[in-house]
Amino acid sequence: MLITPTHSLKGEIHIPGDKSISHRSVMFGALAHGITEVTHFLHGADCLSTISCFQKLGITIDTAPGCIRIHGKGLHGLRPPASVLDVGNSGTTMRLMSGILAGQPFSAALNGDASIQKRPMKRIITPLREMGADIAGADGTDCAPLAVKGASLHGIHYMSPVASAQVKSCVLLAGLYADGETSVTEPSLSRNHTELMLASFGAELSSSGTTATIQPDAVLNGQKIDVPGDISSAAYFIAAALLVPDAEVLIHNVGVNPTRDGILRAAKAMNADITRLNEHEVSGEPVCDLLVRSSSLTATTIEGGMIPALIDEIPVLAVMAAYADGTTIIRDAAELKVKESNRIETIVSNLKRMGADAEATDDGMIIRGGRQLHFAEIDPHADHRIAMAFAVAALCAQGGAEICNAECASVSYPKFYEDLISLCS
Ligand code: S3P
């Protein structure tokens, strides 16, 4: 898809529901008693994979545009699947479902696309085995397809070597089926949607610092959930409005949970003009509207405990850095290598194609900003966030850019290009 440059970006936008929260609403709704009704559900490919996996596990889910109803059957109501559970491109589905399946009285197999088969599963296999789970990767590897045979689980205290909400959530979900308390401590706090939402369903769950603790055998009850707009999807419009010379964009209903709002903090450090309006709470999550105006961006350093709060926004932050004045350093972000693509490589190689001065490091990248970028063919390596970040880069590049395999954006944002183009004039 050819994205052409623009001088002006104006208007208002309602971005789709949060991907992490949408996944969890299906999973926890399936394990609850009664109906869970979810509005502003994200009908992206990843969340549709979660729906189809739970349908295979015997859960009825009614879907209509923007709204779904999950007919939960309680913690022990899932049924053995007749075929392999296909998670598509979704790491969240694979890792959280493994935790749920570990404690069931049946066996199941999980598989996904070529990207998912390369992503590390040892990070969940290790703690699940410590709990007594019977889980194995393909041919003795730690990669998908995964075979999970139901087993009796013990409560553990797990010191996670990575700040990963997928690992934390996997272990906490397995903890629902354990014989005692389960807790997870992470090196720095990752997104806490599982803790907030599971507690609202009735789980006995507490958090202190970077440790979350869950008691087994909860009785979960169906909820009404209104999913906030996804800050990870809003990030492309934030960046576009900051970079395009004559821009003012109002982004409605954005989830600004402090474990996810690193993009706003990093943008502020880069001299961004962003105003939070109408701050309120939706389904236990903080939400606001964001008014974003064109800004002269300056370089920053992004590192340490900040990384988990903006991990998915690094592709578009790197694009912002390429247009900013000065040298931006991103470090402590080795996790980028094991996302839907090796994002250190895919960001740096595509930035270089557009003429930016960018250098990959072991745990991040260095971007010397301020060059005028130019037309290039962008290969997103089937990674939705790379495709969308470079569509933003194209808006200010001489000649724009051709995003190859642009439709991979539908994993998290099916109408992304339509929405972006609607603001351009
Ligand atoms: C997610 C957690 C993050 C994030 C992913 C969604 C989640 O992954 O990158 O897009 O919903 O729990 P990690 O937990 O691997 O950091």
State if residue 257 touches ligand 1 by the CB under 6 angstroms criterion: no
CA of 399 to the centre of ligand 1 (A): 34
State if residue 20 touches ligand 1 by the CB under 6 angstroms criterion: yes
CA of 169 to the centre of ligand 1 (A): 10
Distance (Å, whole) CA 386 – CA 420:
15
Measured from the Cβ of residue 315, the count of other Cβ atoms closer than 10 Å reads 29
Measured from the Cβ of residue 391, the count of other Cβ atoms closer than 10 Å reads 26
- Asked if 335 and 363 touch (Cβ cutoff 8 Å), the reply is no
pLDDT of amino acid 140: 83
Can you give the C-alpha Rg of the chain in angstroms? Answer: 21
Distance (Å, whole) CA 392 – CA 102:
41
Q: Which atom of ligand 1 is nearest to the CA of 308?
A: 16
Which residues 6+ apart lie within 8 Å of 50 measured at CB? Answer: 22, 23, 26, 27, 87, 90, 92, 93, 97
Nearest in space to 121 (alpha carbons), one of 152, 145, 86: 145
Q: What is the DSSP string of 210-274?
A: TEEEE-SS---B--EEEPPBPHHHHHHHHHHHHHSSEEEEEEEEEE--TTTTHHHHHHHHTT-EE
State if residue 312 touches ligand 1 by the CB under 6 angstroms criterion: yes
State if residue 164 touches ligand 1 by the CB under 6 angstroms criterion: yes
State if residue 165 touches ligand 1 by the CB under 6 angstroms criterion: yes
Catalytic residues: 312
Backbone phi, psi, residue 21, to 5°: -75, -40
CA 406 to chain centre: 19
Tokens matching residue 307: 């990384």
Tens of pLDDT along the chain (425 residues) come to: 999 999 999 999 999 999 999 999 999 999 999 999 999 999 999 999 999 999 999 999 999 887 999 999 999 999 999 999 999 999 999 999 999 999 999 999 999 999 999 999 999 999 999 999 999 998 888 999 999 999 999 999 999 999 999 999 999 999 999 999 999 999 999 999 999 999 999 999 999 999 999 999 999 999 999 999 999 999 999 999 999 999 999 999 999 999 999 999 999 999 999 999 999 999 999 999 999 999 999 999 999 999 999 999 999 999 999 999 999 999 999 999 999 999 999 999 999 999 999 999 999 999 999 999 999 999 999 999 999 999 999 999 999 999 999 999 999 999 999 999 999 97
- Pocket probe mutation, ligand 1, options 18, 47, 92, max atoms within 8 Å of Cβ: 92
Cα pseudo-dihedral 343, 344, 350, 351, rounded to 10: 130
- Asked if 98 and 128 touch (Cβ cutoff 8 Å), the reply is yes
pLDDT of amino acid 425: 73
pLDDT of amino acid 97: 98
Q: Which atom of ligand 1 is nearest to the CA of 194?
A: 12
Three-class secondary structure of residue 339 per DSSP: coil
Q: Which atom of ligand 1 is nearest to the CA of 165?
A: 14
CA of 92 to the centre of ligand 1 (A): 6
Q: Which atom of ligand 1 is nearest to the CA of 24?
A: 11
pLDDT of amino acid 194: 98
Nearest in space to 224 (alpha carbons), one of 417, 74, 35: 35
CA of 166 to the centre of ligand 1 (A): 5
Distance (Å, whole) CA 193 – CA 238:
22
State if residue 160 touches ligand 1 by the CB under 6 angstroms criterion: no
State if residue 166 touches ligand 1 by the CB under 6 angstroms criterion: yes
Three-class secondary structure of residue 353 per DSSP: helix
CA of 168 to the centre of ligand 1 (A): 10
State if residue 197 touches ligand 1 by the CB under 6 angstroms criterion: no
Distance (Å, whole) CA 185 – CA 161:
9
Residues 122-127: contacts with CB within 8 Å, 24+ apart? 123/95, 123/160, 123/161, 123/162, 123/164, 123/167, 124/95, 124/98, 124/99, 124/166, 124/167, 124/170, 124/171, 127/156, 127/158, 127/160, 127/167, 127/170, 127/171, 127/174, 127/184
Residue 209: which region, alpha, beta or left (left: phi > 0; alpha: psi -120 to 50)? left
State if residue 92 touches ligand 1 by the CB under 6 angstroms criterion: yes
Which residues 6+ apart lie within 8 Å of 108 measured at CB? Answer: 57, 80, 81, 85, 101, 147, 148
Can you point out the beta strands (E) in 2-86? Answer: 2-3, 8-14, 33-39, 60-64, 67-73, 85-86
Count H helices and E strands in the chain, helices first: 12, 23
pLDDT of amino acid 317: 98
CA of 7 to the centre of ligand 1 (A): 34
CA of 424 to the centre of ligand 1 (A): 31
- Pocket probe mutation, ligand 1, options 50, 164, 186, 196, max atoms within 8 Å of Cβ: 164
pLDDT of amino acid 412: 95
What pTM, to 2 d.p., does this model score? Answer: 0.98
